[in-house]
Structure 1
Amino acid sequence: MDLTYSIVARCSQTGQLGVAVQSHWFGAGVVCWAKAGVGAVATQAMALIDHGPLGIELMEEGESAENALRKRLSLDDAPEIRQVAMVDSAAGVAVHTGSQTIPEAGHIVGDGFSCQANMMWNSTVWYAMHDAFINAQGDLAHRMLASLHAAEEQGGDIRGMQAARILVVGPEQLSKPWMETITDIRVDDHPNPLTELSRLLEIQNAYSNLSKYQEGDAIESELSSEIPEIAFWRSVDLVNKGRHEEARELVKVALDEHPGWEELLIRCAKNNLAGISEETVRTLLER
């Protein structure tokens, strides 16, 4: 059983595909399925998880979201208790809310996305999700997160909250499939999973920005001075760019958090790894 609210969507700007969910059910993220360049699925209510991976399989074979959903439901012996939504790589959307799903239950389809919910306090939930997604700023993950927050603001699940997930994949399949997932953050058991999901998403963005910065893009995260791992590697980069005072100030975040960071500097310097030389260590540890 997974009675919940969710959104499936395709970003019109990037072609990314995504699905996000929140439910009072441990590990509710299992309802989320997506494949780069293919589509995304949410399968919920008295959920038949088969509709997720097998719906993706049908879309990968060339079926539209509409046809994939129709075929899946034709094989379901209890479609009246299911709620399933699919979006394909061409922004086609299909959604089904069974006649016997627990109220309040319903869905709304937008341009390249669908919001659906069941066992809600109020029938305004999916409409609020729709509007929040349209009006939100940022990338697909953040807009879907805004949609989830809007659902909760309307009362959400009558049982409360427990688990949530955001899954975003790229617009096309790659020769290295393990690089197709852009975001996959899940909270399996938490008193406020949306707050935790928001926190984890910002941390992921901080790490992503660190990678971009190291590749030469001028992107710095506000969390650079809060997350020891990011502060450590940014300080190494700053030293190598001659910005010594900034580097020493930033590395303190890591050094004050755990003694192992200083040891890591020393060990890396022995083999001149990760841009860390003996001179780097002396500069960073200079008092």
Structure 2
Amino acid sequence: MKTFIVIVSLLLAWVPSTAGTETSRRSEARVFSGRPVHTYSIVARDPKTGELGVAVQSHWFSVGSMVIWAEAGVGAIATQSFVNPAYGPEGLALMAGDVSAPETLRRLLEKDPEAAVRQVAMVDAQGNAAAHTGNLCIPAAGHHQGEGYAVQANLMLDDGVWPAMARAFETHAGDLADRLLAALEAAQEAGGDIRGRQSAAILVVRGQPTGRVWADRVFDLRVEDHPRPVEELKRLVRLSRAYNLMNQGDEHVAAERYDEALQAYAAAERLVPDNDEFIFWHAVALVSIDRLRDALPVFRRAFLMQPSWWLLVPRLAQVGLLPDDPEVIEQIQSMGPEASPPPVVPAVAAQDEEHR
């Protein structure tokens, strides 16, 4: 069933009551389709890498599931206010057919009978940006277009939000994801959504498609419900960078580029130094390139942080991820706490034991 959101605007027209001495106020309701995803967002293209990205924050649950859209080598779109999610896939389809972002937006608005309540922005693979703020978007509402980007906001505390986003994006150093996040932070510092904050999301795709959609996404992260969503989103971006480096390290090992692999693993650990999984798999990689002596202290660090890694070692030997050599496995496990950590008790079993 189609969702309808009712916005009531009071007409300050006083009419006589049936008693002749009292007055009553009539109200008239406007009905708009769509969900009220009032928010602020940014779409942009990085001229150096060709990456395309979109980021958003709102006082609305799971804002990223409706607002942000992007496709490698095509464009990025944000659709918000009384959101019509169809602007996302339909806009990308038009831009994929070599229609520019400004022309794509014009065509979509032209056929939308409720364009007055939409706020939409998009950027194409050539860096052409376009934005629209309908005259019935809830104030403070507006947008700003710059070279290769657009920022837009509605239901803000005041009209200083989107100019602050533009300044932050233009002046911040870093890659596209860093600059998108800087714009979101600037919006919050300038007052942000008048209702507060709840969720945030970022989507960055490659400038050229690889033919594998999953590989085209540089960042695809959402914070669905959090008291400080942009801070949490920044943490997730940092963690995602670290995992990307670990994946690169694995690819280098597979290609026998061992020095590059170790550099990637070390860079990942610098980003997230307290991640025991990174440390463990770094040690496994060292063994795979015949550097057992270097791997042993790294294994010990992982075992001290999480003893259950000790239990995994012989299982990896069974499937070929570690040498099927009892002496090697014994040396690795000798790095464990007292060389024999306590058995791991599943949480459910532990709870059952407590109730006996």
Work out the CA distance in 2 between the residues paired with 1:175 and 1:276: 37
Instruction: List alignment gaps of at least 5 residues for structure 2.
Output: 1-35, 336-356
Matches within 5 A, 1:52-131: 52-131=88-167
Task: State whether structure 2 residue 322 is matched by structure 1 residue 263.
Answer: no
Aligned residue number for residue 28 of structure 1:
63
Quote the residue 1:232 is aligned against.
280
CA distance in 1 between partners of 2:50 and 2:325 (Å)? 42
The match for 2:9 is none
Change (3 A) 1:125 1:224: closer
Q: Give the TM-score normalised by structure 2.
A: 0.76
Q: Within the alignment, does 1:151 sit opposite 2:151 as a pair?
A: no
Q: Helix, strand or coil: the match of 1:46?
A: strand
Percent of aligned pairs with the same amino acid = 43
Separation in 2 of the partners of 1:83 and 1:116? 8
Give 1:286's aligned residue.
334
Please identify the structure whose Cα radius of gyration is greater: 2
Paired with 1:59 and 1:271, the residues of 2 have a C-alpha distance of: 46
Aligned to 1:58, what secondary structure does the other structure show? helix
Q: Summarize the alignment of residues 156-175 of structure 1 with structure 2, pairs less than 5 Å apart.
A: 156-175=192-211
Larger deviation, residues 155-164 vs 269-278 = 269-278
Among candidates 284, 296, 299, match of residue 251 of structure 1: 299
Larger strand proportion of the pair: 2
Amino acid at match of 1:150: A
What is the one-letter code of the residue matched to 2:215?
A: M
Q: 2:11 maps to which residue?
A: none
Contact 2:55 2:203 in 1 (8 A): yes
Question: Would you say 1:2 and 2:37 are equivalent positions?
Answer: yes
User: Which of these residues, 185, 191, 197, is aligned with residue 227 of structure 2?
Assistant: 191
Looking at structure 2, the residues matched to 19 and 275 of structure 1 have their Cα atoms a distance apart, in angstroms, of 45
Q: Which moved further from structure 2: 234-243 or 41-50?
A: 234-243
Match of 2:338 in 1: none
Higher RCO, Cα 8 Å, sep 6+: 1
**Cα drift, residue 273 of structure 1:** 1.8
Q: How many residues in Structure 1 have an aligned counterpart in Structure 2?
A: 287
For residue 228 of structure 1, what is the amino acid of its counterpart?
D
Say if 1:175 and 1:262 are closer, same or farther in 2 by CA, change over 3 A.
Answer: same
Q: TM-score, normalised by structure 1?
A: 0.93
Q: Deviations over 1:26-70 (max 9, x none)?
A: 110020000111001000011111111111111111110001000
In the other structure, the counterpart of 2:13 is none
Question: 2:306, 2:243 → 1: CA distance?
Answer: 19
**CA-to-aligned-CA distance 1:169-191 (integer Å, 9 cap, x gap):** 11122222222111100011111
Query: SS at 1:116's partner residue?
Result: strand
Distance 1:279 1:208, change over 3 A: farther
Per the TM alignment, residue 277 of structure 1 is displaced from its structure 2 partner at its CA by 5.6
Q: Does structure 2 retain, via aligned residues, the 8 Å contact 1:95–1:107? A: yes
Post-superposition shift, 1:212? 2.1
